[in-house]
Structures are given as C-alpha cells and as structure tokens.
Amino acid sequence: MSRDSVVAKRYAKALFQIAQLNNTIAETQQQLKVVDEVIEKNAEIRKFLSFPNIETSKKIALIKGAFSDKISVNVLNTLEVLITRGRHTIIGDVYEAYVKLAGEALGQAQATVYTAQQLSADELTKVQMKFGAIVGKQIVVNQIVKPELLGGIQVRIGDRLYDGSLQGKLSRLGQSLKFQAL
C-alpha cells in the first residue's frame, strides 16, 4: 500500500466521521465525486494546482470559486487542507477511500462489471440482484465494456473477482490441459 493511499484513507475517514455526525454521508460522497470528476477532466486545473510558484491562497480561491455553491463547507475545508499540505494529487484517492467507508456504513458494495458488450438496464439490474444476494449488500454497479472478454461477464467487488467470461474459461481450460500434459 502506497503512502498516498494511506494518507488518503486518513482524510477520507476524517471527512466520513464529520459526514456521519451531520447525517450527510451520501451527499458528501456525491460532492466528492463531482470534485474528483471536474479535476480529473480538466488538465488546466491540475496544472494550476501543481505549480509550486503559485500561492496556496490563490489555489484555494480557485477551488472555492469553482465549487462553493456545489459542495458543503466540510468538503470545501477538506480540499483546502489537501491543497495547503500539497496533497491535491490524492483527491481521487480520498474519494475512492470515502466511497468504501460510505458503502460499508450504508450496506453497499461497489461492483465493476466487465462485459464484451454493453448490458441493458434490465440486465444490469439482474447482475445487481444476483451479486447483492451473494455478498449480502446492495450493489452499486459501474460497467466497463472489454471486447477481449469474448462473451460472459466478470464482476469485481472489492478484492474479489467473479470470472464467468469466455476468455477466463478458455484460460482455465488451457491451464488445465497444460497441467495434465505434465
């Protein structure tokens, strides 16, 4: 585990505790998502925040100006601390760590569904129901299309990968045949 991810978890935990006290866990998660997406998509903002010769107060003023009406004071204060301490690069990591904490508190689990083709909303709902029953939590799905899977589905929930893809089955069959040949 990298030092940045450990630090990001600390910030996420502190923000989560504040959100929990204020009963704003889901709202805070959504606000962090907006901030992460905006910063990830905008290379100019990332460059601006990275320049060491720009005063920290100007960086904070930019963030406050851009997000003050969209995010809570608690999220804004967290961003201010991250920028002041030169840790603006871990905002995405803070968001990911917060999502895990919020998911546990709300009885949710994040699932990344990999398929060869885009699934319909009905099919995604079926995947949510099936894997929700397996892990005993409400599943929040993010779908990624990977044509190299050939067919079937892979679902990653936390550290576990459920592989029902044609590519995975062929790979396991190939390993089995190699083992039997020895």
What is the tens place of the pLDDT at every residue in 72-102?
999 999 999 999 999 999 999 999 999 889 9
- Residue 124 sits at φ, ψ, to 5 deg, of -65, -35
The pTM assigned to this predicted structure is 0.71
Let me know if 81 is exposed, middle or buried by CB neighbors in 10 A (0-12, 13-18, 19+).
middle
Going from N- to C-terminal start, the domains of the chain cover 3-103, 109-181
Q: Please report the pLDDT score of residue 181 as a whole number.
A: 66
Spatial contact of 34 and 71, defined as CB atoms under 8 Å apart: yes
Please state which CATH number belongs to domain 3-103. Answer: 1.10.520.20
* Strand 153-157, strand 160-163: pairing: antiparallel
